[in-house]
Chain A
Amino acid sequence: MLKISNLHASVEDKTILRGLDLTVNAGEVHAIMGPNGSGKSTLAQVLAGRETFQVTAGEVLYQGLDLLPLAPEIRAREGIFLAFQYPVEIPGVSNVYLLKAALNAVRQHRGLAELDAMEFLALIKQKMALMEMNDDLLFRAVNEGFSGGEKKRNEILQMAILEPKLAILDETDSGLDIDALQVVSKGINALRSPDRAMILVTHYQRLLDYVVPDFVHVLSQGKIVRTGGKELALELEERGYGWLEETAPTAAHAEARS
């Protein structure tokens, strides 16, 4: 589904991703872990099409498509979903309106008819029940005045409604208490399916207790330095990221050599 090769990306002349390779197949859940500043969120944003990052080298193939030239909205319609680390507040645009506009855009792109008002509302209510969200959040402005937990639930709600093929969840567990974490995890697990892939970007192992990944990758200085199964996350939790930096050649060393 997704094949990233030798991806280099920078922001304002600062190189963040330095030759990242990653292959994700349908049905798989990949966790990407790593210390702060290792490039986890940059990877998530680059995949979603954020224009503040410049891709300086490498290639990303998504379902056979050359992903990088595509506008963010086209990527979304092609089935890529980014759950934001910091969901954006949009005063004056109601949540229900955003959901409707987004769903219509995605359905239209897939050649499906728009849902009528009744069908749409029924779908939303069902998904909101799954996320244990109050109806009033629908009619409030997008994320405005939402608690941290409500914002993250809202992201997963959007994902549940848009039914992406590739979901990238950027630090979805950050700022959640244990109850909210369980609800959010339940929502994510409900969306696991053989034709959907997920990338969980996370700093901590905690989320992975609830959403068990097939693969764990460790990102350090813009490259994947270690890949393993779910047990790698536990090992990291125990020994810290410093352990890996001691055992793997770092990008800084690589640069020094070149």
Chain B
Amino acid sequence: MNARDHTLADFARTQASLPGARVPWLVSARHNAIERFAQHGFPGARDEEWKYTSVAAIEKNAFVAALRDDGDGDDAAAAALVDQFSLTGSAVHRLVFVNGRYRPALSAPGRLPTGATLASLAGMLESSSEALEAYLADDHGQTVFGALNTAFMADGAYLHLAPGTVVEQPIHLLFIATQAGAAGALISPRNLIVAEDGAQATVIEHYAGSDAAVYLTNALTQIFAGTNAAIEHYKLQQEALQSFHIAGIHARQARDSRLLSHSVSLGALLARNDISTRFAATGCAATLDGLYLVGGRQHVDNHTRIDHAQANGTSRETYRGVLDGHSRAVFNGQVVVRPGAQKTDARQANHNLLLSRDAEIDTKPQLEIYADDVKCTHGATVGQLDDNQLFYLRARGIEETMARSLLVHAFANDLVERIGVASLRTRLKQILFTRLPQGERIRELI
């Protein structure tokens, strides 16, 4: 049986046990989605969007949908992972998902302001699915994996903010994969963030796994920002190093809304992010930041798309990567400025540091501009550490390994400093120090 047929059979086997199996619109949405997947199959080299990223290893692994487990014996392991990956140092509203399912016992949603609803998506699908239909059925910009997520989505976070609602503390969505529960599993988290007019919140989407687990996370997050709403979305991907991580984050912005997407990729053998936003009205602003640090045989692919569909939009995109070992990275930054989207101001930069001769990056800006009164810039660099800088540090008595670490740290830390949530920023600084040779020494000095 080929991988596509295997997945179709898996859907046939599991569909009845997915949440909302008796909700007609959802059953039909799932069927439409699996139909799209059936027609297309897994993407191959012929797909322009997947030219540099092969999913053959995913097909070969023949993952099967994680079934409802409700804490079947890996509670202790799950709790230990939650301890390890919790963000400390500031109050957060925390929802924990273990192998894709919400675990109330490990979560601490805390008190949210009136007007804010934070819940498990599975629960919402069972109890009040009509509120979700318009959003979940919206499949703009979705890939084949997006369709696969819709077919198999089992749980995730649902955040709804009534007009004017402001959630001060960050919302931490922690998705962990345990050794026992995640082995061989397809995990399909689906998150829905709806900010009505003038609402504001910060959401951290965080993926982490037990070291030796091999699984596939296929996540999808949708963000709807109303007029003058502001959403800050952070993503931290620390999946197990032999696992696979495919994720989409797709936003739709109303007038004068602001979106920050900051995506950090550290884990997984293969990671792919599709991040997009669409300016559906004038005056929108989006900042897309990203950092990827990979080594060994890791492969990370960031595809971003900013759709300036309306005028007076501003977008700022900064992605940086550090590649070591035999790792490979792909950056594809698409910016579309549609006819009539005058006064668009878009800037994009992608900088890469290759620490090894065997590391490889394919970076491609993709600007499609159909309006004339716009300002769009882009720049991409690929390079090694600067010899002049290295020599300068060494001429001051700093040992070569340390000098290299210092320069790599400076390069990556620039993106870490842009993180507005202190506890997340601190966590990432710790990770940087841990990953760099002599990082502890640098930490002492800084």
A contacts, CB < 8 Å to B = 48-52, 71-73, 75-77, 81-82, 84, 87-88, 90-93, 97-98, 100-102, 104-106, 109, 141-142, 158, 162
Instruction: Among B391, B400, B403, B409, find the residue whose CB has the most chain A CB atoms closer than 10 A.
Output: B391
Docked complex Cα distance between A256 and B392 (Å): 38
Q: Are A88 and B397 in contact (CB under 8 A)?
A: no
Min C-beta distance of B156 to chain A, whole Å: 36
Specify which chain B residues have a CB less than 8 angstroms from the CB of A50 in the assembled complex: 391
User: Is the C-beta of B388 less than 8 angstroms from some C-beta in chain A?
Assistant: yes
Query: What mask results when residues 391 to 428 of chain B are scored 1 for a CB within 8 Å of chain A, else 0?
Result: 11111111110110011011101100000000000000
Q: Are A105 and B398 in contact (CB under 8 A)?
A: yes
Provide a sorted-by-A list of 16 A–B residue pairs whose CB atoms are within 8 angstroms.
A49-B395, A51-B391, A71-B400, A73-B399, A73-B403, A75-B395, A82-B395, A88-B392, A91-B414, A92-B407, A93-B406, A93-B410, A97-B445, A98-B398, A105-B396, A105-B399
Specify which chain A residues have a CB less than 8 angstroms from the CB of B413 in the assembled complex: 92
User: Is the C-beta of B430 less than 8 angstroms from some C-beta in chain A?
Assistant: no
Instruction: Among A49, A92, A105, A162, find the residue whose CB has the most chain B CB atoms closer than 10 A.
Output: A92
Specify which chain B residues have a CB less than 8 angstroms from the CB of A82 in the assembled complex: 395
Docked complex Cα distance between A101 and B445 (Å): 7
| A92-B411, A92-B413, A104-B445 known; A72 vs B395 contact (CB < 8 Å) | yes
Docked complex Cα distance between A84 and B394 (Å): 13
Q: Are A71 and B394 in contact (CB under 8 A)?
A: yes
Docked complex Cα distance between A97 and B405 (Å): 14
| A73-B398, A101-B398, A105-B399 known; A90 vs B411 contact (CB < 8 Å) | no
Chain B residue nearest to A90 in the complex (CB): B389
Q: Are B414 and A92 in contact (CB under 8 A)?
A: yes
Docked complex Cα distance between A97 and B396 (Å): 12
B contacts, CB < 8 Å to A = 386-389, 391-400, 402-403, 406-407, 409-411, 413-414, 445-446
From A73, A87, A142, B394 is in contact (CB under 8 Å) with: A73
Q: Are A49 and B394 in contact (CB under 8 A)?
A: yes
Q: Are A90 and B392 in contact (CB under 8 A)?
A: yes
Docked complex Cα distance between A158 and B386 (Å): 21
| A90-B407, A92-B413 known; A76 vs B392 contact (CB < 8 Å) | no
Chain B residue nearest to A94 in the complex (CB): B446
Sorted from nearest, which 5 A-B pairs have the closest CB atoms?
A92-B410, A76-B397, A105-B397, A102-B396, A88-B392
Chain B residue nearest to A107 in the complex (CB): B397
Specify which chain B residues have a CB less than 8 angstroms from the CB of A109 in the assembled complex: 397
Q: Are A93 and B395 in contact (CB under 8 A)?
A: no
Docked complex Cα distance between A124 and B403 (Å): 22
Docked complex Cα distance between A141 and B393 (Å): 13
Specify which chain A residues have a CB less than 8 angstroms from the CB of B397 in the assembled complex: 73, 76-77, 102, 105-106, 109, 162
Specify which chain A residues have a CB less than 8 angstroms from the CB of B396 in the assembled complex: 73, 76, 98, 101-102, 105, 158, 162
Specify which chain A residues have a CB less than 8 angstroms from the CB of B386 in the assembled complex: 88
Min C-beta distance of A199 to chain B, whole Å: 15
Specify which chain B residues have a CB less than 8 angstroms from the CB of A90 in the assembled complex: 389, 392-393, 407, 410
Instruction: Among A75, A101, A106, find the residue whose CB has the most chain B CB atoms closer than 10 A.
Output: A101
Docked complex Cα distance between A71 and B407 (Å): 19
Min C-beta distance of A150 to chain B, whole Å: 16
Specify which chain A residues have a CB less than 8 angstroms from the CB of B407 in the assembled complex: 90, 92-93
Specify which chain A residues have a CB less than 8 angstroms from the CB of B388 in the assembled complex: 88
Specify which chain A residues have a CB less than 8 angstroms from the CB of B406 in the assembled complex: 93, 101
Q: Are B445 and A72 in contact (CB under 8 A)?
A: no
Instruction: Among B393, B396, B402, B411, find the residue whose CB has the most chain A CB atoms closer than 10 A.
Output: B396
Q: Are A97 and B446 in contact (CB under 8 A)?
A: yes
Min C-beta distance of B325 to chain A, whole Å: 23
Min C-beta distance of B381 to chain A, whole Å: 13
Specify which chain A residues have a CB less than 8 angstroms from the CB of B395 in the assembled complex: 48-49, 72-73, 75-76, 81-82, 84
Docked complex Cα distance between A14 and B394 (Å): 25
Docked complex Cα distance between A158 and B398 (Å): 13
Chain B residue nearest to A106 in the complex (CB): B397
Min C-beta distance of B441 to chain A, whole Å: 8
Specify which chain A residues have a CB less than 8 angstroms from the CB of B398 in the assembled complex: 73, 98, 101-102, 105
Docked complex Cα distance between A84 and B389 (Å): 12
Add 5 more A-B contacts to A75-B395, A88-B391, A162-B397 (CB < 8 A).
A71-B400, A72-B395, A88-B386, A93-B393, A102-B397
Docked complex Cα distance between A101 and B441 (Å): 9
Chain A residue nearest to B446 in the complex (CB): A97
Docked complex Cα distance between A22 and B149 (Å): 74
Q: Are B409 and A92 in contact (CB under 8 A)?
A: yes
Docked complex Cα distance between A162 and B398 (Å): 12
| A92-B414, A105-B397 known; A72 vs B402 contact (CB < 8 Å) | no
Instruction: Among B394, B400, B409, B446, find the residue whose CB has the most chain A CB atoms closer than 10 A.
Output: B394
Min C-beta distance of B413 to chain A, whole Å: 6
Docked complex Cα distance between A102 and B396 (Å): 5
Docked complex Cα distance between A76 and B399 (Å): 10
Docked complex Cα distance between A17 and B420 (Å): 54
